[in-house]
Amino acid sequence: MSHIRILIVEDEPLIAMSTSAMLEGIDYEVSAIAYDSDEALEQLRSDPPDLALLDVNLKSKLDGIQIGEIIRDQYDLPFIFLTSYAGESIVERAKLTRPMGYIVKPFDEKDLFTAIEIALYNYAQFVHPLKLDMERLNKKLPSPLTPREFDIIKDIYEGKTNQQLAKRHFISINTVKTHVKHLFEKLDVQSRAEALVMLRNLNQAQP
């Protein structure tokens, strides 16, 4: 697998550097170091990483928690908070952003490694899989879906009707029906609602 790319947002250069060195020591790639919130947002926009490490006590326009809120709302990647201070009020604020981890300073390579691995894994398990992944799905099916059928099921998963599917994919509604029929057989269901439930369950299940 290719390198996991990590963005560090930390205003204390010494900590940023040592964190960066640790990450590279355990085979991650540091996509960038942002020393304030503007740089962080710019990096997120121009070169989104696979994961972000956010200093909670960032001294800039936005602090780490506010950046976390932006990531949660506007980006599709997990983030982990770094902090030296873990007072109750901070944690209260932080957890509302639903971070995938929280590391208390001082930390070492082991702390980083486990937090990142768990964060990436749980993010893939609980957050991202709301979007369907064809390979993952097909592994769980006795007979796999074709690419076209997968296109269709993605929209069914979003609640679309046959007519909407026909327009969106520039095909006849009859063709849509054929695809739907086939994928219902493969999923072993008899209605869209059942299909949604089946996908929910398959998605939640073991990879």
Partner DNA sequence: TTAAAAATCACCCTGTGGGGTGATTCCCCC
Partner DNA sequence: GGGGGAATCACCCCACAGGGTGATTTTTAA
3-state class (DSSP) for residue 196: helix
- What single-letter amino acid sits at 72? R
* Binders in 91-150 for DNA, by CB under 7 A: 146-149
Of 171, 198, 201, 176, the residue nearest 187 (C-alpha):
198
54 phi, psi to nearest 5 deg: -115, 125
Q: How far is the CB of 199 from DNA (least distance, A)?
A: 13
By the rule CB under 7 A, 181 interacts with DNA: yes
- What single-letter amino acid sits at 46? S
Give the list of residues 6+ apart from residue 133 with CB closer than 8 angstroms, or none: none
Q: How far is the CB of 43 from a second copy (least distance, A)?
A: 24
* Binders in 150-169 for DNA, by CB under 7 A: 161-163, 169
3-state class (DSSP) for residue 207: coil
Q: How far is CA 190 from CA 177, 186, 205, in A?
A: 13, 11, 21
Q: Which stretch binds a second copy (CB under 8 A): 31-39, 45-53, 110-118, 170-178?
A: 110-118
3-state class (DSSP) for residue 34: strand
Rounded to 5°, angle at Cα 50 from 97 and 99: 15
By the rule CB under 7 A, 191 interacts with DNA: yes
By the rule CB under 8 A, 6 interacts with a second copy: no
Q: How far is CA 119 from CA 83, 131, 156, 193, in A?
A: 17, 18, 29, 31
- Residue 159 interaction partner, one of DNA, a second copy, none, beta carbon < 5-8 Å per kind: a second copy
Q: Which residue has the tokens 């749980």?
A: 122
- Residue 44 interaction partner, one of a second copy, DNA, none, beta carbon < 5-8 Å per kind: none
Q: How far is the CB of 32 from DNA (least distance, A)?
A: 38
Q: How far is the CB of 83 from a second copy (least distance, A)?
A: 8
What is the contact surface with DNA in residues (CB under 7 A)? 146-149, 161-163, 169, 171-175, 177-181, 184, 190-193
What is the contact surface with a second copy in residues (CB under 8 A)? 83, 86, 88, 91-92, 94-96, 98-102, 104, 108, 110-111, 113-115, 117-118, 121-122, 125-127, 130, 156-161, 189, 191-194, 196-198, 200, 204, 206
